[in-house]
Amino acid sequence: MAKNRARIVECIPNFSEGRDPGVVAAIADAISSVDGVYLLRTESDVDHNRSVVTFAGEPGAVAEAAFRGIACAVERIDLTRHVGQHPRMGAADVVPFVPIEDVTMAECVELSRRVAERVWSELGVPVYLYEESALLPEHRNLADLRRGQFEGIRDALGSDSWRAPDLGEPRVHPTAGITAIGARRPLVAYNVWLGTTDVAIARKIARAVRHTSGGLRFVKALAFELASRGVVQVSMNLVDYRRTPIHHVFEMVRREAERYGVPIVGSELIGLVPQDALLAAAEFYLRLNEFDASRVLENRLLDAMSADAAEDE
C-alpha cells in the first residue's frame, strides 16, 4: 500500500515537426529509451507543424532522455524545409525543465546547463539559456529570442551582439537552427478558439490579454489562423498560473470577444496541466468556500498512504 515519493523533474521539449508521424515517433522512442523515464504525452499539431513531448522522472534520467530526444530531432528535422503557423528557431525548438516533486529550481537550472553543454559540444547546435537558466537578462524571454525565427536569426547572428548564443559559436546549425534550453515554473498552454475566420480579431484580443501590451501579468499570447478548422485562436502561455489563473484569462478573452460580437467555440489545453490549475477554475465558477486540493478524495488518500509509508520506514 506504500507510495514512495520520488524526486521528479518534468521536461516538455517542443520539436519543429507535426506532420510526419514517423519522425515524432522516433524522437519519442529516443526519449523513452532511458530507464526511469516516463513518457507522459506526445501531441502534434498539423497547422503549427510542431510536436510537444511530455516526460518525467528522476533528474539524471530526464537529462539523458532530453539529450537523446534533441539528438534525434537534429538528425531528422531540416528547418530549411519547415513551414508552419508557429514561430520556431530550432529542430528542437525549446527544451524546458520543470521541478515537480522534491526538486529545487536551482537543481533544474544546473541540469539544464549540463544538457545545453552537451547539445553544443556533441551535436554542434548553439544554445540559448532562457528563463531561470538565463545568464543574460535579454535571453530570459523566449519570445524575444525567437523573434525573426530560424531564417531571421541565421542572418542576424553575426551582427546583433545580444543575439550571441550562451553556448557555441554565433551561427545557427545549418539544418537544426538554434535551441533554447532552461528551467522554468510549470506553465499552462491554453488556446481559446473563436468562431470567426478573421485573424485580426484574435490579434486584438491577444494584445488585450498579454502582459507585454498592457494585459494580465503572467500571460503571453499570440494569434493564429487555423486553416484546417475554419477558426482563429488566441494561443496563450500562462507562465504563473497560480497568480494569473486560467479562469481570469478565459473570462478576459470572453469579454473581449463579446466586444467584437464573436463567440468562443471552445478551448484547448496543450500538453499536461497541473491539477491545481483546474481545481482553481472549478472553485471560482462554483463559488466554493474554503476549498483546497486536500478536499479531493484521491489527493487525501495518496497523502494518507504516503504518510503511513513514511512512518513504516
If the CB atoms of residues 135 and 282 are measured against a second copy, the closer one turns out to be 282
Which of the residues 196 through 255 are near a second copy (CB under 8 A)?
246-247, 250
C-alpha cell at 36: 526511469
**Per-residue interface string for the shown chain with a second copy, residues 74-113, x marking contact by CB under 8 A:** --------------------------x-------------
User: Under the phi-then-psi rule, with left for phi > 0, alpha for psi from -120 to 50, and beta for the rest, what region is 22?
Assistant: alpha
What are the residues whose beta carbons fall under 8 Å from the beta carbon of 227, sequence distance 6 or more?
A: 47
Cα(238)–Cα(241) distance, integer angstroms? 5
Is beta strand 231-238 parallel, antiparallel or unpaired with respect to 188-194? Answer: antiparallel
Residue among 203, 208, 209 nearest 225 (CA): 203
Residue 195 beta carbon to a second copy: minimum distance, rounded to whole angstroms = 11
With contacts defined by CB under 8 A, how many residues of the chain interact with a second copy? 55
> 119 with 34: CB under 8 angstroms?
no
**Per-residue interface string for the shown chain with a second copy, residues 249-288, x marking contact by CB under 8 A:** -x-------------xxxxxx--xxxx--xx-xx-xxxxx
C-alpha cell at 28: 519519442
If the CB atoms of residues 65 and 116 are measured against a second copy, the closer one turns out to be 65
Q: Kindly tell me which residue out of 33, 155, 295, 310 binds a second copy, with binding defined by CB under 8 A.
A: 295
Residue 240 beta carbon to a second copy: minimum distance, rounded to whole angstroms = 16
- Check residue 70 and report its DSSP letter: H
Runs of H (alpha helix) within 14-86: 21-32, 59-76
139 is catalytic: no
Residue 1 touches a second copy, criterion: CB under 8 A: yes
Residue entry with cell 516516463: 38
If the CB atoms of residues 143 and 302 are measured against a second copy, the closer one turns out to be 302
Which of the residues 112 through 171 are near a second copy (CB under 8 A)?
none
CA 288 to mean position of chain CA atoms: 30
The residue from 48, 86, 139, 248 that is catalytic is 86
Residue among 207, 199, 186 nearest 226 (CA): 199
Residue 250 beta carbon to a second copy: minimum distance, rounded to whole angstroms = 5
Residue 253 beta carbon to a second copy: minimum distance, rounded to whole angstroms = 10
Cα(181)–Cα(35) distance, integer angstroms? 22
Report the interface residues with a second copy, using CB under 8 A.
1-4, 6, 8, 10, 36, 38-41, 54, 56, 58, 100, 186, 192-193, 246-247, 250, 264-269, 272-275, 278-279, 281-282, 284-291, 295-302, 304-305, 308
Q: Which residue numbers are catalytic?
A: 86
